[in-house]
Chain A
Amino acid sequence: MASDSVRPKKIRVLPGFKLTLGFTVFYLGLIVLIPLAAVFWKATSLTWPEFWRTVTMPTALASYRLTFGASFLAALVNAFFGLIVAWVLVRYEFFGKKIVDALVDLPFALPTAVAGITLASLYGQNGWIGQLLMPLGIKVANTQLGIFIALTFIGLPFIVRTVQPILEDLDPELEEAASSLGASRWQIFWRVILPMLTPALLTGFALAFARALGEYGSVIFIAGNKPMLTQITPVIIMQELDMFDYPKATAIAVVMLVVSFVLLLAINVLQWWTNRYNTTNLA
């Protein structure tokens, strides 16, 4: 009780509060906040009907559907395979495991343009994989399937890296208890392990999805960028910029930014949930 009333007057032992607060806020404002505000400022140069017409033009609508759909599917596929990869890396021993573990982060480290031309060539008509798929009648390059593959590539590490630490910290006694009570291995996974991994899985899914929505470099080479068919939303912004139509580009950017901010909020809530879950497990 007494300490509560004293708290506001508490002397800070460590120095540098004003300096670090000042610099952090200054740098954040200068590099991030003020330039981001410019987007909303520029968007006001359009009237409301103009803005609405721009963001709902047919090519834009088609691009939202494509970007959302492909990102969602890619994140879903990554959630499934990412869980298996994390599981295998944590629980099993096999030859070359350390190298495999290190290479999972490749999509983070490999520049998007490199990933883009590589996937485009690999899945192109004469590429290693494209050649094999041709006789089966499957076309990947310049189709929506290609976009899905590029987005799967860039989202791959997110699920693995969010699930892996949780899986490592899982208390083996819980599984032992379940097993001694007669649960089968599958029941233990489904009823004991999976519920504990769910927050991490959802966080990883949301991170991969958010990253895929804004992705540009790795997609444009394999997509072919045909209007209404294989044009993702960042490509629409790029096109308007190339025609120096800044208000239009900005209007679409506003839509993307709002979606990103909502997702960021959701991810923060999910991460808080993951951490809470994790600490209650450890306690």
Chain B
Amino acid sequence: MTPVATTFHTPHRVAHRHTTSEPPVVRRLLIGVALGFLSLFLFLPLVFVFTQAFAKGIGFYFHTLHDPMAWSAIKLTFTAAVIAVPLNCVFGVCAAWLIAKFDFRGKNILLTLIDLPFSVSPVIAGLIYVLVFGAQGWLGLYKNADNPKFPWLANWLLAHDFQIIFAGPGIVLATIFVTFPFVARELIPLMQAQGRSEEEAARVLGASGWQTFWRVTLPNIKWGLLYGVILCNARAMGEFGAVAVVSGRIRGQTNTIPLHIEALYDDYNFTGAFAVASLLAFLALITLGLKTWVEHNAAQNAIEAGP
């Protein structure tokens, strides 16, 4: 690693080239296998989405997207994402600050619990909210109990009979659950690696807590934060299983974009389904593009910041 060692090895480099790299035939074969595998599983499906979307011409494409059902699905999906992403963003920054800047007991357990939603099947992610808020769930059973423990709460629930399951709030909750760890997971390792010294210096020099966060921490984590938000948003807009359980699939009311795609597909309107699907595929491509851009910028920053 040290410059001395490198110069020492330089004369041998040419001789070693053959033994620390593969022969050209093997190299080409491996590249071929890798590209073949990726073509079959990634490129072909991606190309297929867009060709199918425009199979009946551009007129049909925009006709499908102009449909009121499609519009209501697009609006609902954006609403859910607009609520879920900022909430998980605030949580992510909070949790990362807690874990990176302080030592306390139970930190590892907390880290595991934050990752928990990733290992829960989307269908179960929907189910848990049905069990809390549904008619046969905690709140539902409590509301309709003969002798509830807190009568005022039961009365209040009955008076404000808002629906959570098979309605918008349930969809928002399920979306928050499945995107829960994204921002935290990006920020925690980043902030742990950055340590505490910069913030501590700012504090010692008289900056307030908020000033330290806005002027010292945030500029350091902005790329990681942006990356987390992008991934969180992509998942929020594309979630299917969890949302399918809590939405009730009422067309024009509680269908999100992925559920609308399923409805069109089940109606054998394949071109229509792919037309709507192409919106989400396009979103996925934008996500990948932004991700590459953010990674590039982060790497650039690291080089500039380095010695």
Min CB distance A276 to B, Å, is: 14
**Contact present for A100 and B38 (CB under 8 Å):** yes
Binds A, one of B57-65, B89-97, B142-150: B89-97
**Contact present for B199 and A121 (CB under 8 Å):** no
Contacts A/B (CB < 8 Å), 30 sampled = A13-B200, A15-B212, A24-B110, A28-B113, A31-B173, A38-B137, A39-B127, A89-B34, A103-B288, A105-B291, A107-B42, A108-B234, A109-B283, A109-B284, A113-B238, A114-B258, A114-B261, A114-B277, A128-B44, A152-B41, A153-B45, A180-B16, A183-B19, A185-B19, A214-B124, A216-B121, A217-B258, A237-B127, A257-B124, A264-B112
A194 on the interface (CB 8 Å rule)? no
Min CB distance A214 to B, Å, is: 3
B49 on the interface (CB 8 Å rule)? yes
Bound complex: CA of A35 vs CA of B49, how far in Å? 36
Interface membership of chain A positions 173-184, coded 1 if the CB is closer than 8 angstroms to chain B and 0 otherwise: 101100110011
Query: Which of B95, B117, B200 has the most A CB atoms < 10 Å from its CB?
Result: B95
Which A residues are CB-close (under 8 A) to B122? Answer: 112, 214-217, 234
A110 on the interface (CB 8 Å rule)? yes
Min CB distance A230 to B, Å, is: 16
A61 on the interface (CB 8 Å rule)? no
Of the candidates A32, A111, A217, which one forms a contact with B117 in the assembled complex, judged by CB atoms under 8 Å apart?
Answer: A32
Which A residues are CB-close (under 8 A) to B134? Answer: 246
A49 on the interface (CB 8 Å rule)? no
Which B residues are CB-close (under 8 A) to A172? Answer: 20
Interface size class of B (residues with CB under 8 A): 35 or more
Among B1-56, those with CB < 8 Å from A are 1, 5, 9, 12, 16, 19-23, 27, 30-31, 33-35, 37-38, 40-46, 48-49, 52
**Contact present for B31 and A94 (CB under 8 Å):** yes
**Contact present for A214 and B123 (CB under 8 Å):** yes
Bound complex: CA of A267 vs CA of B116, how far in Å? 12
**Contact present for B49 and A111 (CB under 8 Å):** no
Min CB distance B243 to A, Å, is: 10
Min CB distance B212 to A, Å, is: 7
Among A231-279, those with CB < 8 Å from B are 233-234, 237-238, 241, 244, 246, 249-250, 253, 256-257, 260-261, 263-265, 267-268
Min CB distance B226 to A, Å, is: 15
A147 on the interface (CB 8 Å rule)? no
With A94-B31, A214-B122, A253-B124 given, is the CB distance from A13 to B203 under 8 Å?
yes
Given A13-B203, A17-B98, A253-B124, 7 more A-B residue pairs with CB atoms under 8 Å apart are A32-B177, A102-B291, A103-B38, A111-B238, A117-B262, A185-B22, A238-B123
Of the candidates A103, A108, A217, A263, which one forms a contact with B119 in the assembled complex, judged by CB atoms under 8 Å apart?
Answer: A263
B223 on the interface (CB 8 Å rule)? no
A42 on the interface (CB 8 Å rule)? yes
Of the candidates A15, A32, A122, A152, which one forms a contact with B180 in the assembled complex, judged by CB atoms under 8 Å apart?
Answer: A32
Which partner residue on chain A sits nearest B112 by CB separation?
A: A268
Interface membership of chain A positions 203-229, coded 1 if the CB is closer than 8 angstroms to chain B and 0 otherwise: 000000010011111000100000000
With A84-B34, A94-B31, A105-B288 given, is the CB distance from A38 to B200 under 8 Å?
no
Min CB distance B240 to A, Å, is: 4
Which B residues are CB-close (under 8 A) to A253? Answer: 121, 123-124, 127
B229 on the interface (CB 8 Å rule)? no
With A156-B42, A216-B122 given, is the CB distance from A32 to B116 under 8 Å?
yes
B114 on the interface (CB 8 Å rule)? yes
**Contact present for B258 and A113 (CB under 8 Å):** yes
Interface size class of A (residues with CB under 8 A): 35 or more
Which B residues are CB-close (under 8 A) to A210? Answer: 119
With A39-B131, A172-B20 given, is the CB distance from A88 to B31 under 8 Å?
yes
**Contact present for A214 and B234 (CB under 8 Å):** no
Closest 7 CB pairs of A and B: A111-B238, A214-B121, A179-B19, A217-B240, A216-B241, A15-B209, A35-B128
Min CB distance B142 to A, Å, is: 12
A134 on the interface (CB 8 Å rule)? no
Among A153-192, those with CB < 8 Å from B are 153, 156, 171-173, 175-176, 179-180, 183-185, 188
B171 on the interface (CB 8 Å rule)? no
Bound complex: CA of A238 vs CA of B298, how far in Å? 42
**Contact present for A110 and B281 (CB under 8 Å):** yes
Which A residues are CB-close (under 8 A) to B124? Answer: 39, 214, 234, 237, 253, 256-257
Which A residues are CB-close (under 8 A) to B110? Answer: 24-25, 28
A57 on the interface (CB 8 Å rule)? no
**Contact present for A92 and B30 (CB under 8 Å):** yes
A98 on the interface (CB 8 Å rule)? yes
**Contact present for A14 and B200 (CB under 8 Å):** yes
B132 on the interface (CB 8 Å rule)? yes
A129 on the interface (CB 8 Å rule)? yes
**Contact present for A129 and B44 (CB under 8 Å):** yes
With A31-B176, A94-B31, A217-B240 given, is the CB distance from A106 to B120 under 8 Å?
no
Of the candidates A24, A36, A216, A246, which one forms a contact with B98 in the assembled complex, judged by CB atoms under 8 Å apart?
Answer: A24
**Contact present for B41 and A238 (CB under 8 Å):** no
